[in-house]
Amino acid sequence: MRTPRSVRRMSTTTETKPDVERTRRENAEHGFVASRALTDSLQEVLVDLIELANQGKQAHWNLVGPNFRDLHLQLDEVIEAARLFADEVAERMRALHATPDGRSGVVSAQTTLEEFPGGEVLTIDTADMVTARIESAVGTCRRVHDTVDDEDPTSADLLHEIIQKLEQFAWMISAEHRRPKGA
């Protein structure tokens, strides 16, 4: 005998109830449910990735100086990766019955990234600022990693992908104006 929907119990593995009642077709709704700590950790990563994409566009539009085209195209790659990773994190949160919040006010209030300046910015300065922002986003991923990994190794695997790609971007962009030691 089936229990009526109005009487069905919510998952006992979470401290908060879902915003909507389950339906009989939502089989995935019986799966793993993120704790508040896991949700908060993934939300921190999400806002930094959204902000990284937004700041990357700001830099992309206002870039001037030597190696303009190369950095302009690299920024497109960073922006695309940040957007894709933000989407993956948000969808992972939804899969774990958490609600991602990517509204501009939330992102602005919660990001760890320093605000990018307005107006034109020289390529060398842009490279330094974008590298710093990438490293800040990576820092967030590393800071929340153990909390995430303790509860959900699958989400931690996503963080590994993000860290690997963003660190590669930071290296490539910062190498644009570095000189070998002793040169």
Query: What confidence tens digit (pLDDT) does each residue in 42-70 have?
Result: 999 999 999 999 999 999 999 999 999 99
- Predicted local distance difference test score (pLDDT) of residue 1: 47
Q: What is the pLDDT of residues 143-155, one digit of tens each?
A: 999 999 999 999 9
Structure tokens at 149: 């990994």
The span from the CA of 52 to the CA of 78, in Å, is 8
Q: How many domains does the chain have?
A: 1
Give the per-residue pLDDT at 35: 94
| Within-domain flag for 12 | no
The CATH number for 126's domain is 1.20.1260.10
User: For position 46, what pLDDT does the model report?
Assistant: 98
Q: Which amino acid is at 115?
A: E
Q: Are 98 and 39 in contact (CB under 8 A)?
A: yes
Backbone angles phi, psi at 123, to 5 degrees: -55, -45
Domain interval for residue 164: 36-114+122-174
Name the phi and psi angles at 173, rounded to 5: -70, -45
Regions in the chain scoring below 70 on pLDDT: 1-30
User: Is 182 inside a domain boundary?
Assistant: no
At residue 178, the pLDDT reads 78
